[in-house]
Amino acid sequence: MHQRVKSKAEPEDASSKPVEKYAEGTNWVEGGVDNNPYFFALVIAAPFLSILLSFLTSAEMQKTGVEPNLSAMIPVCLEDLTQCGQGVLRAGCSVLPTLEAAKFVLGFMGVAFLLEFIPGKVETGPETLTGHVPKYVDNGVRHCVLASALFLAGSNLGPGGLYDFGIIYDVFPGSVAFLNIFGIIFCIFLTIKGLYFPSTQDSGSSGSMVKDFLWGTELYPRIGGWDLKRFINCRFAMTFWQLAGLSYAYRSYTMHNKVDYGLLMSAISQYLYLFKFFWWEMGYMRSIDIIVDRAGFEIQWGCLVFVPSLYTLHTRFSVLQPSGLSFSAALGIFVISIVGVVLNYAADRERDVFRATNGNTLIWGKKPTFITAEYSIVDRKTGKETKKTSLLLASGFWGLARHFQYLFELVAAWSWCLLANPLKNGVIPLGYCIFLTCLLVDRAKRDSDKCHKKYGKYYEEYCKLVPYKIVPGIY
């Protein structure tokens, strides 16, 4: 039912070949800022940057009399660098937590926590180096639908009338300031938990207090059955991003008394993309963010603060600086974004079906080509080594590039940012798509490093079949 490609380096009896042993607790590949100095610099600057981005898109920025674009701000700064630096510091220090913002964020988290108990099918993630198999309740779509319905019902557009539907925009600066404080405290807790009362054996110190805090000390932190990593990464960050665009579009309408088609269509496209994310959530729980990156400042603070701050920048920017796009222009870009979303899902779905059927399926009407790769896991307590196998798909989208789905994700991301009309509003609304491009290029490299260490010669053969990481013929 399939075409299995045999490694040239593989002996006739592959099971008799010794398998490379891996260091305990690394889960095949190390991570952390010490492997990427540019990322380290971003991590250090990120808390203040998130504050500045919230100020940049607030009414307080308008009061400064400076247009929120680089072409206007850079000349002002160059006239007096000292005054410019002082102004930036004042802007950052002016963004403080508010009681209203804290109540909103905690209420948002509280609802997300209650929705954790929605029933669903139990699914599993990949087995770790230490033999741990994480389990999850697959209820992402139900969470998404109920969270959206409850947010609408509680607003002035629903029967609740507890808050204005544009509240996410209204309390955003105070929310980011509060989340910064909350995120740092939470990451300190995660560091201590991983060192002294971890949930699994995939934990421990790197030997550096700085790296322990930034990268994390535990891969799968839980409190009872509550998965902290999924809650922050998905149930808070992705839901906030999903609802923020709609809230911003509503606030824009109430401010300007007309529809900003660029902002509205960007918000709708992102909502659909994130609905797709929750539909595919179990696939995300098997991705590098979850199975390699520990729950430290980089990932957990990033999802708590940087996702709301940067990932919604283009739509938030358009509230005070409308895109000015016509309906037809916005619709054309919107269609391109939806094509990216659909093909991104199609690529992920293609691999999921392949894995679920153990290769016994058709891809693009043909039997799939793949390599059966061997690796081993080590029991940390006994030192016993157990051999395992994985199927490396080299057909369909996955035969064009090893992460061809990233290309579709970038098409969608660039479309969302273009709907903020950078020709009119400058390059700042492109912040998210530029960041995502760098992130996915780095992620593709890291995943390649992980697979080289995990599968060795088998992955070398796979790379000969599929030589490009993201863009065929280029990278």
- pLDDT at position 1 is 37
For residues 251 and 442, which has the higher predicted lDDT (pLDDT)? 251
Give the span between the Cα atoms of 415 and 325, in whole angstroms: 13
472 in a structural domain? no
Residue 283 belongs to some domain of the structure = yes
What are the backbone dihedrals phi and psi of residue 172, each rounded to the nearest 5 degrees, phi first?
Answer: -60, -50
- C-alpha span between 211 and 298 (Å, rounded): 10
A 10 A CB-CB count for 420 gives: 28
- Per-residue model confidence (pLDDT) at position 10: 42
378 vs 414 pLDDT, higher one:
414
Local structure of 467: helix, strand or coil: coil
Q: Is the distance from CB of 265 to CB of 330 less than 8 angstroms? A: yes
Residue 38, pLDDT > 70, answer no
Residue closest to 311 by CA, chosen among 411, 214, 237: 237
And the tokens for 383? 């030192």
- Report how far Cα 148 is from the mean position of its chain's Cα atoms: 20
Give the C-alpha separation, 411 to 437, whole Å. 10
pLDDT (0 to 100) of residue 17:
37
**Average pLDDT over every residue of 216-240:** 95
**Average pLDDT over all residues of the chain:** 88
72 in any annotated domain: no
pLDDT tens figures, 391-411:
999 999 999 999 999 999 999
Closest CA to 58 of 180, 184, 223, 168: 168
CA distances from 270 to 244, 276, 331, 346 (A): 10, 10, 14, 17
Number of Cβ within 10 Å of residue 447's Cβ equals 17
Contact 129, 377 (CB under 8 A): yes
Q: If residue 169 lies in a helix (H) or strand (E), which one and from where to where?
A: helix 167-170
H helix or E strand, kind and range, residue 17: none
Asked if residue 84 is part of any domain, the answer here is no
- The confidence score (pLDDT) of residue 13 equals 39
Domain count of the chain?
1
Give the global pTM. Answer: 0.88
Q: Pick the residue with more confidence: 42 or 400?
A: 400
**Any residues with CB less than 8 A from the CB of 115 and at least 6 apart, and which?**
139, 142, 143, 146, 147, 235
Phi-psi region of 257 (alpha: psi -120 to 50; beta: other; left: phi over 0): left
> Does the residue 81 lie in any domain?
no
Check pLDDT > 70 for residue 28.
no
The pLDDT value given to residue 16: 36
Residues spanned by the domain of 397: 3-58+95-465
Instruction: Report which DSSP code applies to 238.
Output: I
Q: Is 86 part of any domain?
A: no
Rounded CA-CA distance 247/284 in Å is: 26
How confident is the model over 308-321, as a mean pLDDT? 96
Domain assignment of residue 381, yes or no: yes
- Per-residue pLDDT band at 18 (split at 50, 70, 90): very low
Backbone φ and ψ for 364, nearest 5 degrees, come out as: 55, 40
Q: Residue 381: its pLDDT value, please?
A: 67
CA torsion angle 139 143 144 150 (round to 10): 160
Q: What is the pLDDT of residue 39?
A: 66
Question: 36-50, 89-103, 239-253, 459-473: which has the minimum mean pLDDT?
Answer: 36-50
Sheet holding 369-378, edge to edge: 3-5, 369-378, 385-393
Tens of pLDDT, residue by residue over 115-151, are 999 999 999 998 887 888 999 999 999 999 999 999 9
Helix (H) or strand (E) holding 138: strand 135-138
The answer to the question of residue 83 being in a domain is no
Contact (CB, 8 A) for 403 and 288: no
The amino acid sitting at 68 is P
Q: Which residues pair with 374 in a beta bridge?
A: 389
